[in-house]
């Protein structure tokens, strides 16, 4: 593989100078890599190369280069890198890691059929019910940390849409914690910066003999496969609308997926839908607490449209501020700030460079959402950047994804995008309609705040650290209104 990079034809964009053999490895932070990559782009431009040992990685830090390379040339730039450690975990069973084989196409087709912008509306009633229940939980159990509430919400929504069944209970063990643990192990095995084997590929033969790694990887695969099958076979049929499992069972052949593929696709959706969605709601709280004027503007619109009754998807056209808020959350704190790695499936030319087949590409969403050619004052949390002077949503520039860059690019763009946006929309609408958010006050009378930059790096997912705040009900008879909404 490595000879490819030494081909005379390859002419990669220049980047920071590294050490012989090691490349830039020692300059890479073990956490928050996306900040460093964005900082380098100020010196080397929106497209540049870093080296991990003999492996080049091309960084796409600007909006234009990312759209050119990952959208316009997506035919050549939509594979995934080969990760040696990942091979032990058999991560090629997970759609997010597959190259564009027939299996990938089948799974992608099946997800698209279920979660495309029209199909996903059949889940609106689940998302709205769970948003009401989330709000009820926050009202009744203020002692339980907010991040646990929103994690339970996110897990419950995707679980019910995928497998059917009842809303996850407000108290007790969050039933999605086990799958989340398996997901964390998976993400860890996928990140090349977490694996010495991937940086020192000549260790591969040695590593293959390391029993504990093999054991860890085998145990992960077996537990995950077992859990996926248990959930799939235990799925509860629904009436009046189809869960994802029901749809897959009916259309497996048409989509071109096997039973194994259906089991793993559904489980991957369950994994992918949790932390990403709950992170967005934590970012909402952080943004609102630092910008009470944004909260008041959202609430003014919610009050004008909904008054005393709970918000609903039917109100959406009259709630452009809430839609703009969702776009701003995903821009301000993109939950997956470097996307997932792409890889070139063939040599391609760009701006006079020749980028060889196999080169890894980082879609540095973090840097793109800070691109001042499009976003003025990018660190400010300001939903009005997506609105015109009369408060309507601005049309999106054709052929761009500037309103939702946080979901990636090209043929690998997040297939859960519309489902995710709907869930975040209805949860935001409920939370802000129901509560005023305030920082807690300590005995000295000082607000106990969490800074906007106090983030945690969870391998691929970046999330605000857990923090406390106070939710003050804004509605008389809030509980009754919530119960009424849940009955509808």
d(C-alpha 295, C-alpha 20), whole Å: 52
Q: Is 414 annotated as a binding residue?
A: yes
Contact between 15 and 50 under an 8 Å Cβ cutoff? The reply is yes
Name the minimum Å distance from CB 3 to ligand HEM: 27
Binding mask 109-148 for ligand HEM (x = CB under 6 A): --x-------------------------------------
Return the residue of 247, 315, 328, 363 that touches ligand HEM, per CB under 6 A: 363
Query: Can you tell me which of 267, 297, 343, 413 binds ligand HEM, judged by CB under 6 A?
Result: 413
Q: Which residues pair with 456 in a beta bridge?
A: 463
Q: Is 52 in the site for ligand HEM (CB under 6 A)?
A: no
Could you give the CA distance from residue 258 to residue 429 in angstroms, rounded to a whole number?
Answer: 39
Least CB distance to ligand HEM at residue 51 (A): 22
Cα gap 111→415, rounded to integer Å: 7
Strand 55-60 with 360-363, pairing: parallel
Residue 368 CA to residue 358 CA, distance in Å, equals 23
Judge residue 197's burial from the number of C-beta atoms within 10 Å of its C-beta, 0-12 exposed, 13-18 middle, 19 or more buried.
buried
For ligand HEM, which is the closer residue by CB, 158 or 306?
Answer: 158
- Give the residue among 21, 23, 9, 12 at the shortest CA–CA distance from 58: 12
Cα dist from 185 to 158, 362, 441, whole Å: 20, 21, 38
Name the minimum Å distance from CB 123 to ligand HEM: 10
Q: Select from 136, 179, 325, 340 the one that contacts ligand HEM (CB under 6 A).
A: 340
Contacts with ligand HEM: how many residues (CB under 6 A)? 30
Q: Does 83 bind ligand HEM (CB under 6 A)?
A: no
Residues in 229-288 at the binding interface with ligand HEM, rule: CB under 6 A? 268-269, 272-273, 276-277, 280
Contact between 407 and ligand HEM by CB under 6 A: the answer reads: yes
| CA-based torsion, 332, 337, 340, 344: positive or negative | positive
Residue among 55 and 114 whose Cβ is closer to ligand HEM: 114
Distance CA 345, CA 339 (A): 18
Quick one: which of 320, 335, 358, 367 contacts ligand HEM (CB under 6 A)?
Answer: 335
Binding positions:
414
- Residues within the interface to ligand HEM (CB under 6 A): 95-96, 108, 111, 158, 268-269, 272-273, 276-277, 280, 330, 335-336, 339-340, 342, 363, 406-409, 412-416, 419-420
Binding positions for heme:
414
């Amino acid at each position: 593989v490595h000879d490819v990079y030494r081909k005379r034809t390859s002419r990669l964009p220049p980047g920071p100078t590294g050490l012989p053999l090691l490349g830039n490895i020692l300059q890479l932070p073990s956490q928050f890599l996306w900040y460093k990559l964005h900082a380098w782009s100020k010196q080397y431009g929106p497209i540049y190369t870093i080296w991990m040992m003999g492996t080049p990685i091309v960084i796409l830090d600007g909006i234009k280069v990312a759209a050119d390379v990952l959208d316009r040339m997506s035919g050549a730039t939509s594979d995934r890198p080969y990760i040696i450690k990942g091979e032990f975990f058999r991560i090629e069973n997970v759609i997010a890691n597959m190259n564009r084989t027939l299996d990938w196409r089948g799974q992608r087709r099946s997800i698209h059929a279920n979660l495309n912008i029209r199909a996903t509306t059949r889940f609106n009633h689940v998302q709205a019910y769970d948003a009401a229940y989330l709000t009820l939980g926050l009202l009744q159990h203020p002692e339980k940390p907010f991040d646990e509430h929103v994690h339970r919400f996110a897990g419950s929504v995707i679980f019910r849409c995928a497998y059917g069944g009842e809303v996850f209970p407000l108290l007790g063990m969050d039933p999605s914690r086990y799958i989340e643990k398996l997901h964390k192990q998976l993400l860890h095995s996928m990140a090349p910066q977490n694996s010495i084997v991937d940086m020192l590929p000549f260790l591969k033969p040695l590593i293959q003999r390391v029993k504990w790694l093999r054991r860890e990887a085998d145990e992960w695969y077996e537990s995950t496969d077992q859990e996926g099958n248990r959930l799939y076979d235990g799925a509860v049929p629904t009436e009046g609308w189809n869960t994802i499992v029901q749809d897959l069972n009916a259309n497996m052949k048409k989509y071109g997926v096997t039973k194994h593929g259906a089991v793993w696709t559904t489980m991957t959706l369950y994994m992918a839908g949790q932390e990403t969605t709950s992170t967005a709601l934590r970012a909402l709280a952080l943004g609102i607490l630092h910008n009470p004027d944004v909260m008041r503007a959202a609430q003014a619109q919610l009050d004008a449209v909904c008054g005393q009754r709970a918000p609903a998807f039917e109100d959406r056209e009259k709630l452009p501020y809430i839609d703009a808020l969702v776009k701003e959350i995903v821009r301000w704190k993109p939950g997956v700030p470097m996307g997932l790695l792409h890889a070139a499936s063939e040599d391609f030319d760009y701006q006079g460079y020749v980028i060889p087949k196999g080169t890894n590409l980082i879609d540095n969403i973090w840097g793109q959402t800070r691109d001042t050619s499009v976003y003025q004052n990018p660190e400010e949390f300001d939903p009005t950047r997506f609105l015109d002077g009369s408060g309507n949503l601005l049309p999106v520039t054709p052929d761009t994804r500037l309103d939702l860059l946080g979901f990636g690019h090209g043929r690998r763009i997040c297939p859960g995008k519309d489902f995710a946006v709907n869930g975040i929309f209805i949860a935001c609408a409920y939370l802000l309609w129901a509560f005023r958010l305030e920082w807690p006050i300590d005995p000295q009378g000082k607000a106990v705040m969490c800074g906007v930059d106090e983030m945690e790096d969870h391998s691929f997912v970046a999330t605000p650290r857990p923090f406390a705040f106070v939710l003050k009900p804004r509605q008389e008879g809030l509980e009754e209104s919530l119960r009424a909404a849940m009955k509808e």
